[in-house]
A and B are shown apart, each in its own frame.
Chain A
Amino acid sequence: MNAIECEHLTRAYGRALAVNDVTFAVPAGSIFALLGPNGAGKTTTLKLLLNLLRPTSGLASVLGCETTRLTKAHFRRIGYVAEDQIYPEWMTVSQLLDYYRPFYPSWDDALARRLTVMFDLPEDRPLKKLSRGMRMKAILLTILPFHPELLLLDEPFGGLDPQVRDDFIRGMLETVGSDRPNTVIISSHDIAEVEQLADWVGILLGGKLILAEPMISLQARFRRLEIVGASVASRLPDRLPPAWLKVERPASTVVQLIHNAFTNSVAAEAEVRAILGEIKIKPYPMTLREIFLVHSDLGRIEKKGQRHE
């Protein structure tokens, strides 16, 4: 089952397309990292999923319901932490919990208590007297105890110190797991923070979804290939295979290329040799950060190209 499905989801602000024909699905139980630079459409996408915005065209459904038909009952199963979260700052942490508890039939008081201890939150101090990190944890404390089936976190790590980030992730992991198919979407430009955690990745650039797939398949198919051979750089033909996403020549004897359909070293070597002749190749696995940067660089080049036309 999918927790989220988007089909040709589009949202325009005036003539600008903040989200442009986005189609993807998030299987229930996954932690989906939605990556993209600022202004890529991450926040707009999340707001469309919550029906805080209406799509200009296309549609999205969450927990099996089209977003424009979401009811109160659905929102009792969905947790959302906005980037610019508004909170009743005069309340203390325990007042905040007392306020939220009655809204959620699935509220788990034992988890709320455990999280309060884990987060090291002073229960009787007003939120306005807490640090930003403490406030973020307090907000998470109002959401996790009802075991949201869908948790949407918009740039949750911004401005948080490493200790608070760690608490935040631990807290989140209290309610995600094999015994519960709860789904999490984290939008972030903080890639290293989610690399091991997420099992699905989506990359948004300029409102377009560049890719959305399981982390394992992404890690398997992307390689940086270092190709070494005498004058190999000058042997590069004009037309290159489409899987060679990016090709660079740091020296006449070296070609670096990003391959996006890598299967194994033997096949890759055969493929490259068919084009470049006698060479040696060395495949390097790529971090999520490197994969992301390759795409955002390509996006930038494409944009410039269009402007020149």
Chain B
Amino acid sequence: MLPFTVEFRAGEPAYEQVMYAAKKAIMSGHLAPGARFPSVRLLSQELRIHPNTAHKVVMALTAEGILAVQPGIGTVVTAASNASEQDRTALLKDEVERLVVEADQLGLTEEQVVAAVQKHWRKLSPKS
């Protein structure tokens, strides 16, 4: 079992989708600092992706400093909470873009979209 799930979307590169899911799991604290990150083989077998794709994901996350290799243990999550607001916002980029495009096509204004987001935020968010 993997500590995060990937819902593959049609026609988008597997690499980007797995990167996104992994980063979200780490930045949201789902995968805490010090937690073991799945091996290339496990990632590949559980997600049914090419091992090279899984390898690329682990390498990229390591290069970004999100994962670190610990001899004898494998790859572990480093400082997840260090993710800047900017990093976390970037994770939602595609969703926001999609929302804006959809809203524009429906002929909604910026204010109407913001108001709709706020309304849902208040309804769903437990924090406010």
Residues of A within 8 A of B55 (CB): 177-178
Q: For residues 38 through 74 of chain B, which have their beta carbon under 8 Å from a beta carbon of chain A?
A: 40-41, 44-45, 47-53, 55
Contact in complex: A178, B51 (CB < 8 Å): yes
A301 to B28 CA separation, bound complex (whole angstroms)? 51
Residues of A within 8 A of B9 (CB): 285
Find A31's partner among B13, B15, B41, B50 (CB 8 Å cutoff): B50
Sorting the interface of chain B by its residue count into under 10, 10 to 19, 20 to 34 or 35 or more gives 20 to 34
The chain A residue with its CB closest to the CB of B97 is A265
Contact in complex: A170, B13 (CB < 8 Å): no
Contact with A along B1-26 (1 / 0, CB 8 A): 00000001111111100000000000
Is there a chain B Cβ closer than 8 Å to A29's Cβ? Answer: yes
Contact in complex: B52, A286 (CB < 8 Å): no
Contact in complex: A197, B50 (CB < 8 Å): yes
Contact in complex: A199, B11 (CB < 8 Å): no
Is there a chain B Cβ closer than 8 Å to A233's Cβ? Answer: no
A196 to B9 CA separation, bound complex (whole angstroms)? 10
Find B40's partner among A177, A199, A222 (CB 8 Å cutoff): A177
Find A199's partner among B8, B47, B52, B101 (CB 8 Å cutoff): B52
Contact flag A196-B14 (CB < 8 Å), given A176-B51, A177-B40, A285-B9: yes
Is there a chain B Cβ closer than 8 Å to A169's Cβ? Answer: yes
Sorting the interface of chain A by its residue count into under 10, 10 to 19, 20 to 34 or 35 or more gives 20 to 34
Is there a chain B Cβ closer than 8 Å to A303's Cβ? Answer: no
Find B52's partner among A178, A219, A220 (CB 8 Å cutoff): A178
Residues of B within 8 A of A31 (CB): 50
A199 to B47 CA separation, bound complex (whole angstroms)? 14
Contact with B along A264-305 (1 / 0, CB 8 A): 000000000000000010101111101000000000000000
Find B101's partner among A30, A170, A220, A282 (CB 8 Å cutoff): A282
Residues of B within 8 A of A284 (CB): 11
A103 CB → nearest B CB, Å: 26
Q: Secondary structure at chain B's binding surface: helix, strand, loop or mixed?
A: helix
B8 CB → nearest A CB, Å: 6
Is there a chain B Cβ closer than 8 Å to A216's Cβ? Answer: yes
Residues of B within 8 A of A177 (CB): 40-41, 44, 51-52, 55
Contact in complex: A173, B44 (CB < 8 Å): yes
Q: Secondary structure at chain A's binding surface: helix, strand, loop or mixed?
A: mixed
Is there a chain B Cβ closer than 8 Å to A111's Cβ? Answer: no
Residues of A within 8 A of B128 (CB): none
Is there a chain A Cβ closer than 8 Å to B82's Cβ? Answer: no
Max chain A CB contacts within 10 Å: which of B9, B10, B40, B47? B10
Is there a chain B Cβ closer than 8 Å to A112's Cβ? Answer: no
Contact in complex: A173, B41 (CB < 8 Å): yes
A64 CB → nearest B CB, Å: 21
Contact in complex: A173, B45 (CB < 8 Å): yes
Residues of B within 8 A of A219 (CB): 11-13
A201 CB → nearest B CB, Å: 12
Contact in complex: A197, B13 (CB < 8 Å): no
The chain A residue with its CB closest to the CB of B18 is A196
A177 to B40 CA separation, bound complex (whole angstroms)? 9
Q: For residues 154 through 174 of chain A, which have their beta carbon under 8 Å from a beta carbon of chain B?
A: 169-170, 173-174
Contact in complex: A280, B10 (CB < 8 Å): no
- B residues engaging A (CB < 8 A)? 8-15, 40-41, 44-45, 47-53, 55, 101, 105
* Cβ-closest 9 pairs across A and B: A285-B11, A177-B51, A287-B10, A178-B55, A199-B50, A286-B11, A170-B45, A196-B14, A196-B49
- A residues engaging B (CB < 8 A)? 29-31, 169-170, 173-174, 176-178, 195-199, 215-216, 219-220, 222, 228, 280, 282, 284-288, 290
The 18 sampled A-B contact pairs (Cβ below 8 Å) are A31-B50, A169-B45, A170-B45, A173-B41, A173-B48, A177-B40, A177-B52, A196-B14, A216-B13, A216-B15, A219-B11, A219-B12, A219-B13, A228-B105, A282-B105, A286-B10, A286-B11, A287-B10
